[in-house]
Amino acid sequence: MRTLDQPRRVLRRQPVRIVAGEPEGGYTNAFEIICCDCGDDPGLDYRDVSAELQRVRGPYPIAAGVRAYEEHVAQHQQLKRSLRIRSARRLFAPRLLARLGQLQNAVAYPRQMGSQRA
């Protein structure tokens, strides 16, 4: 179980196994990505997570693990930016469309008045 002082994502040395949420039997030479934002739990053994989370976890040699970790973090940042943009569009689009409609009416009204005079 993740506590507030633990990071959301981490590249860690892969334990031989995890029992009752604790590493047991030492560590392997491989590294794995644990991403709580993806639904992973650092207290679960590799064999106990879904195939999708296993693909995220790895295992990786250190250099490949660092690259995979950086790419994974970048994916979350990109997703976060796109969600903020979509949220802003939902918030501001109705106002902008209403204002655009007002402007179109203001432009159309003088034209209608001019055509009535002729």
The residue segments making up the domain with residue 112 are 9-117
Q: What is the block-wise mean pLDDT of the chain (118 residues), using blocks of 10 residues?
A: 65 90 89 92 91 93 94 89 72 66 63 54
Report if residue 58 sits inside a domain.
Answer: yes
Report if residue 94 sits inside a domain.
Answer: yes
Instruction: Render pLDDT for 68-102 as a digit per residue (tens, 0 to 9).
Output: 999 999 998 888 887 777 766 666 666 666 766 66
Cβ atoms 41, 1 nearer than 8 A: yes
Cβ atoms 78, 86 nearer than 8 A: no
Q: DSSP 3-state assignment of 105? A: helix
Domain count, the chain: 1
Looking at residue 97, its pLDDT comes to 65
Find the angle CA(75)-CA(17)-CA(62) to the nearest 5 degrees.
45
Q: Compute CA distances 84 → 65, 71, 88, whole Å.
A: 29, 20, 6
Report if residue 72 sits inside a domain.
Answer: yes
Report if residue 3 sits inside a domain.
Answer: no
Residue 14 has which token pair?
A: 């892969």
Looking at residue 20, its pLDDT comes to 87
Beta strands in 36-102 (DSSP E): none
